[in-house]
Structure 1
Amino acid sequence: MSFIKKIPVEDVKHFVPLVANAYPGLNMSEEKVREAFLKTQTEDLFSDFYGYYRGNQLLGCMKIYDFSMNLYGTKVLAGGLGTVAVHLLHKKEKIAKELVTFFLQYCREKGACLALLYPFRPDFYKKMGFGYGTKVNQYRVLPDCLPRGKSKENVFFVTEAEKENLLACYRRFMEKTHGMIDKTQGELDALFENKRHWIAAFKQDGQIRGYLVLEAQSAHEENRFFNDLHVKEMIYESPESLSELLTFLHSQLDQFQRIVFNTQDEDFYHLLTDPRNGSNRMIPSLFHESYVSGVGLMYRVINLKNLFSQLTLRRFGNQSCTVNFKIRDSFLPENEKSCVVSFRDGFPRVMDHSEAEVEVDLDISDFSSLMMGSVSFKSLVGYGLVKLSDPACLSRLEQIFSKQEKPVCTTTF
């Protein structure tokens, strides 16, 4: 008989080899895995490790997070999934499927409307109903190709004495940015405990108004003086704070070969005098490679009515239309229901008994990406991923979903 439960601390001896064998590329010592597990299970208020047991044998595990996320200006509860691991001798026994099913049901019971994860394989989780989020673009920029402003006199290195000041800056940014997840005290502590990190910040009137989390990394196997500077996190609240932070990076020309940015900002290349990344590759006919791009964070709507009920203050364009969303969700049958939503001047309201003007039929993965703003309704229609009962409503539906913000997330888990 199999079951899933929160892993008790006495099972650490089974947990450590399970995770170490599942993630050999992380090069984490068994002691580090042990410490992380015990800290999570005894101290962390926002996450727990759960295990898949067959009898008394631990054959799989996962870490479940309770996140507070900005969804178009509304703080909502969202579930996060990480550290999914299955015993090497018990692969292909659908243990991962049972773990994910438990996770989704756990999130629904907690009242969350969304679930999210970083996939080890996007196709694996796409089949389970997760949709793609915003891509990350990695730029490798020569320091002197960054804009040089008038000053960097308000930039300083942050110490632990400014920890709460930094957190306040992050939370102001989070409250204004769709997709951002609240930073917990544990995450903040970990930021300062990592001795490889430098944190450069812009301060104005006693408040931190922007910051960079930086890490130097070798850029040459045989030359220890050949290094790149990686921007692990970049938060800014104003053009002034961004200007001084980029001026600071510009001044690092004599020490670092390139500044490496991982950003979800699709317009970032407009900041640069030369966006080329040093690969010297050309894309026909005459396009210079400026960044590499990756699909990462994936989202899943797990309760349609709950989702729209929390977005009553969100204006979807300015159109009026009553829509019956017919969502295909074979992985989570309790979510495979029609949901009638009345948009009036763009504001949504779930209707229990109402006749719809149009039925919109699509898969839960694509619906999740649509609702997060990662893909446009127009694109989904063009790709044949949406079916409409009345094509005459297409223009109104395109306008309802035309001004979606793409989600931004700097939280790793």
Structure 2
Amino acid sequence: MIRLLQIEDLKQAADIAALAYPGMLIQSDEKKKEFIERLATEQKENNGIEFFGCFDEQGELLGIFRVNDFECNINGKFQRIFGIGMVAVHLLHKKEKVAFQLLSYFHNYARQENVALVSLYPFNPSFYRKMGYGYGPLRYEFKFKPGEMIADGNKSKVKFLTPSDEDAIVSLYNEYAQNNHGMLKRTWKEKEYIKTRKTYYVGVEEENYLVGALAFTLDPVKDSHFLHQHMIIHEWIWSNPSAYKQLASWVSSQQDQVDRVIFRTNDQSFVYSLFNPLNDSNHVIPSVYHEVATTGSGIMYRITNIESFVNGTNFNGLGRPQENTQILLEIEDSFITEQDGVYKLSYSREQWEIQRVGKTHEQVDITIGIHDLSSWWMGCVTLESLFNYGEAKVHQLDPKMLDEWFKPRNGPICFTTF
């Protein structure tokens, strides 16, 4: 049985989390008590967070997960999506399909709530890919000398921000989210981080409005002396180029105190904002490509209701067919079997419509797995690439033309962890 966790369940939940995620450092009684108090607060607040548990017939908790209810910019239009986190299974009940039950419940819950897209950060990407999750955008970790920033802005307006600036930071953040596909609106937990000064914030104002903000910490360099530190930039948002330039100049001015600036972003074009983007690896990729960043695959997406996704997004802002068009789309989904089968995508009067037709004897135009469809429709990969690698089949139609109709022009970016 899977249900919402109650206060009396949180001790068992903390025991499971402590063993599943030793890096959380909640093994001691004191830390576990703090963790239970945090869970209790998050569960009762009106914050879009819910904790669920899977119980056996004797009432023992076998596994847990957290549902995060977000608003996500999907190609310029905010949509409700779910993010699943803290998926953990009791150490004595591994390989008993507990995770299968947790994910099945989560997907059904999303479908009941008419949430067409869900996301997660995987402990093992291949595990979730088998459950229909597609790879999201890559993240690049740059590690550069502060003085290598192109610093031609005026840093004189840069000032420290405080928790009293929370509303201005949230407003600027949500404006940034409105302009960037894949971004989530500021969450309750992120607002709590501002209140508790989890990071330092600096920002710039124009005409009494916050137009740029940067969150950072200063971390000692491992195995070095106390004057040796890196600057970790956790968040960098701006509403105009001038605000970015001012903050970049401020970062550049820290070269007497900071050895390297570590900045993680989904935007590979950040390299063009640096005089010298080389990191500290001294690694050259043959023939002569100097390493400038390390790259990781993180957030993954899954469409849980194909009809709702099409009806909700209408592939807003993308290219349109010149005439009425019909496409037969065969989707392979072995985890949510209700979605497995053939769909008819029809375009007329500036509107895309979709209808599930089950099976057909007609030649389908596209055959694709739900994991790759999710990545494609979220703008993480082109259909042309999937076709070229043999991961999607396309008949009679031009994959480049289909990308113009269905793939967001820019890949998603996401700052939110969950």
TM-score after normalising by structure 2:
0.93
Q: 2:338 aligns with which of 305, 324, 334?
A: 334
What letter corresponds to residue 408 of structure 1 in structure 2?
Answer: I
Question: Which residue, out of 39, 48, 58, partners 2:50?
Answer: 48
Structure 1 counterpart of 2:119, one-letter code: L
Are the equivalent residues in 2 in contact too, given 1:73–1:176 (CA < 8 A)? Answer: yes
Q: Which residue of 2 aligns with 1:409?
A: 414
Q: Residue 68 of structure 1 contacts residue 75 of structure 1 at CA under 8 Å; is this kept in 2?
A: yes
Match of 1:7 in 2: 5
Cα separation, 1, equivalents of 2:95 and 2:413: 34
- How big is each residue's C-alpha offset from its partner over 1:105-132, in whole Å with a ceiling of 9 and x where there is no partner? 1011111010000000000000000000
1:26 is matched with 24
Alpha-carbon contact 1:314-1:347 (below 8 Å) kept: no
Deviation at 1:93, TM superposition (A): 0.6
1:411 is aligned with what amino acid? Answer: T
Match of 1:255 in 2: 257
* Pairwise CA distance, 1:69: 0.8
Partner of residue 353, structure 2: 349
Q: Which of 69, 72, 88 is equivalent to 1:69?
A: 72
Q: Which of 143, 146, 170 is equivalent to 2:146?
A: 143
| Partner of residue 89, structure 2 | 86
- The answer to whether the aligner puts 1:105 opposite 2:108 as a matched pair is yes
The equivalent residue for 2:241 is 239
Cα distance, 1:184–1:150 mapped onto 2, change above 3 Å: closer
1:115 is aligned to: 118
* CA drift at 1:336: 1.5
Q: Counterpart of 2:329 in 1: which secondary structure? A: strand
Read off the aligned partner of 1:386 and give its amino acid letter. Answer: A
Partner of 2:184: 181
- Whether 1:58 and 2:61 are equivalent positions in the alignment is yes
Give the SS at the match of 2:233.
strand
1:166 equivalenced with 2:172 (yes/no): no
Tell me whether 176-185 or 273-282 shows the greater mean CA deviation.
176-185
- Cα deviation for residue 272 of structure 1 reads 0.6
**Change in 2 beyond 3 A, CA 1:14/1:351:** closer
| 8 Å Cα contact 2:377/2:407 also seen in 1 | no
Tell me which residue corresponds to 1:361.
367
- Distance in 2 (CA, whole Å) between partners of 1:305 and 1:316 is 18
More deviation in 299-308 or 391-400? 391-400
8 Å contact kept, 1:44–1:186: no
1:130 to 111, 126, 133: 133
> Given the alignment, which residue of 365, 372, 384 partners 2:390?
384
Aligned to 1:251, the other structure's residue is in SS state helix
* Equivalent runs, 1:315-330 vs 2, <5 Å: 315-320=317-322, 321-330=325-334
The one-letter amino acid of 1:82's match is: G
Give the counterpart letter for 1:324 in structure 2: L
Structure 1 contact 322–358 (Cα < 8 Å) conserved: no
Query: Using the alignment, how far apart are the partners of 1:178 and 1:47 within structure 2?
Result: 23
* TM-superposition CA deviations, 1:298-345 (whole Å, max 9, x none): 000111110010122614323343212211000011121322222459
Gaps of 5+ in 2: none
- Show structure 1 runs of 5+ residues with no match: none
User: 3-state DSSP class of the match of 1:252?
Assistant: helix
Are the counterparts in 1 of residues 384 and 403 from structure 2 also a CA contact under 8 Å? yes
| Greater mean alpha carbon deviation, residues 270-279 or residues 25-34 | 25-34
26-35 or 117-126: bigger deviation = 26-35
Q: Cα RMSD between the aligned structures?
A: 2.0
Q: Say whether the 8 Å CA contact 2:376–2:382 is kept in structure 1.
A: yes
Report the TM-score when normalising by structure 1: 0.94
Aligned length: 409
Distance 1:145 1:138, change over 3 A: same
Aligned-residue sequence identity (percent) comes to 30
Q: Aligned AA for 2:233? A: V
* C-alpha separation in 2, matches of 1:68 and 1:221: 42
The whole-number CA distance in structure 2 between the counterparts of 1:82 and 1:310 is 25
Do the aligned partners of 1:131 and 1:365 also contact (CA within 8 Å) in 2?
yes
Deviation for aligned residue 1:91: 0.7
